[in-house]
Amino acid sequence: MRAVDQWNREIPVVAARGGIYDRNGQQLAGNLTTYSVFIRPNAVQDKEYAAQILAALFNVSESTLLDKLQEGNVSEITVARQVDESLIQKLISYNLSGVYYARDNTRVYAYGDVLCQVLGFISSDGLGLSGMEKTYDNILRGTDGEIMYTTDIVGNETQNTRIVYRGATDGDNIRLTIDLEIQLAAEQAMREVYESSNAQRVSCIVLDPNNFDILAMVNYPSYDLNDVPRDDSQALNSLSRNSIVCDIYEPGSTFKVLTAAADLQEYINGNTSAFSPSYIFNGSRTRSVDGTTIRCWSDHANGKHSNQTLAEALNNSCNPCFTDIALALGTDTFYDYLNCFGLGNVTGIDFSGEALGMLVPQSLVRDCDLARIGFGQTVAVTGLQLACAVASAVNGGNYYIPRLLKSVVSADGTVVEENQPILKNTTISAEASDLLCSMLEGVVKEGSGKRAYIEGYRVAGKTGTAQKYENGAVAAGKYVSSFVGFFPANDPQYLALVIVDEPEGSYYGSAVAAPVAKTIFEDIIAIKNIKPFE
């Protein structure tokens, strides 16, 4: 075989990488046809002349190239990659012996930084390195071919050269669940809050709660996929990180949606420890648990937050009410729901690097831990985890595996594979879900979520404001502001989670995050031409 290889040479025929499209067929990533240029030193008749021409055409060092040609210890040198066709035409005009070219592909992203952490990028030789480019590299990449021909012992084509052509098999296209119009709307809204709040980072996910199709996913700051900062690994690692999937945070009051869901289901199940929707939580809202004092964010002056139902506790985001629920249900029952909602585990999304979240092991939970978990402390989630958990709580109790891939499509438009929704488990009943949706609609109509209210569209949701921790202690003045919402409340079709990390100035989720969700929902209403529901 070694002897045969010495008498044969191959020119690669590079497969075209498959394109990436949104759910409606809008191209997000494609290819610009370019070329790679190679030189075989043994086949070059005038090395100095060849080095001079190639250096001028492709902006490479003439002396370095000439040294490589004269060394003669390599069979082939790559002169340039991703060369424009106009330069190839000039190269052809010189008719240089021993110089060859072959098509390669330059990856082009139609919208620059849009979806940059989701789409990801490829290496210089066309391998997916991150995001969807990496996850579905085996589908997108295709199989390269080659042109093989016989040469003499020094690499020159012979008079009777035999040429064998093996064509490339281009990669298939993939279609994502992403809706580009909704993505662009979410990008604009998140960019504006990132700039206006001077936050460290902002993230957003929009999904269809009926099957967990991800319609939009945004992280800022971002970077241009057509100008990847490959020379700055630290910046690239930070900017390319899909934080809503890969990073965890303490959710704060948005987590109360799950605590309320567990209570409502246990009440329906007949658990006498659960609180009914009409139960009145008493007005004293300071409670000591294992020596830890649980307080409401309000001082309850002038009867504020006194004697409230579960719906009113959600409106007011009163921490001790949710402490009461968690402690009343007990560790075993409450953890059964947390497990059903996917806490402390991956969702199974088709994206690498998903974080597990952080949940105190059930065997180690103390009452003070359980009390705080009830209102979203002493627990950490990814944005994706929380969005999916809430979606299952408001869609009738169905928890699906979230997905980014909708289908695989061949170059001729034939659907090769349709990625169907997969129901993972159920969390609560439709009855409990309906009750919860009604209560969360009240939060937007009358409670802390008022700034997400849209006349006629029955928006529901929950705000969250969580203190950040550094080195095990509360970081003064550092908060994560969030809002999770959906509409219409009686038949959820769109759900959004907005996270603003360390905003300056106002930091309450009601003031920072809720208005952003409203903007996104209003844009969706306009994009989809959704008529008022009432």
Taking only the tens place, the pLDDT of each residue in 30-63 is 999 888 898 888 888 899 999 999 999 999 999 9
From 155-164, 205-214, 386-395, the region with the lowest mean pLDDT: 155-164
State the SS3 of 438-483: HHHHHHHHHCCCHHHCCCCCCCEEEEEEEEEEECCEEEEEEEEEEE
Higher pLDDT pick, 41 / 485? 485
Provide, rounded to the nearest whole percent, the portion of the chain with pLDDT above 70. Answer: 91
**pLDDT score for 2:** 38
What's the pTM?
Answer: 0.90
pLDDT tens sequence across 402-446: 999 999 999 888 999 999 999 999 999 999 999 999 999 999 999
Read off the pLDDT band of 4 (50, 70, 90): very low
Over residues 254-262, mean pLDDT: 98
**pLDDT score for 148:** 72
Q: Does 8 score more than 60 pLDDT?
A: no
d(C-alpha 38, C-alpha 52), whole Å: 15
User: Minimal CA–CA distance to 202: which of 215, 185, 189?
Assistant: 189
d(C-alpha 407, C-alpha 176), whole Å: 7
Over residues 107-116, mean pLDDT: 97
Is the distance from CB of 279 to CB of 443 less than 8 angstroms?
no
- Going along the chain from its start, the domains and CATH numbers come out as 32-104 (3.90.1310.10), 180-395+426-528 (3.40.710.10)
Q: Does 283 score more than 70 pLDDT?
A: no
Q: Does 308 score more than 70 pLDDT?
A: yes
E strand or H helix at 311, and its extent? helix 310-316
Read off the pLDDT band of 3 (50, 70, 90): very low
Is the distance from CB of 188 to CB of 114 less than 8 angstroms?
no
d(C-alpha 285, C-alpha 217), whole Å: 38
User: Minimal CA–CA distance to 377: which of 398, 403, 358, 400?
Assistant: 358
Mean pLDDT for the chain? 90
Q: Does 139 score more than 90 pLDDT?
A: yes
- Write out the catalytic residue numbers: 253
Is the distance from CB of 9 to CB of 148 less than 8 angstroms?
yes
**pLDDT score for 314:** 96
DSSP state of 276: P
**pLDDT score for 150:** 62
Is the distance from CB of 16 to CB of 84 less than 8 angstroms?
no
Read off the pLDDT band of 250 (50, 70, 90): very high
The pair phi, psi for residue 468, each rounded to 5°, is -95, 155
d(C-alpha 463, C-alpha 488), whole Å: 17
User: Minimal CA–CA distance to 458: which of 475, 471, 444?
Assistant: 444
d(C-alpha 131, C-alpha 134), whole Å: 5
Over residues 135-151, mean pLDDT: 84
What the block records as the tokens of 310 is: 């579960």
**pLDDT score for 302:** 55
Q: Does 23 score more than 50 pLDDT?
A: yes
The pair phi, psi for residue 180, each rounded to 5°, is -55, -40
Is the distance from CB of 81 to CB of 188 less than 8 angstroms?
no
d(C-alpha 295, C-alpha 461), whole Å: 23
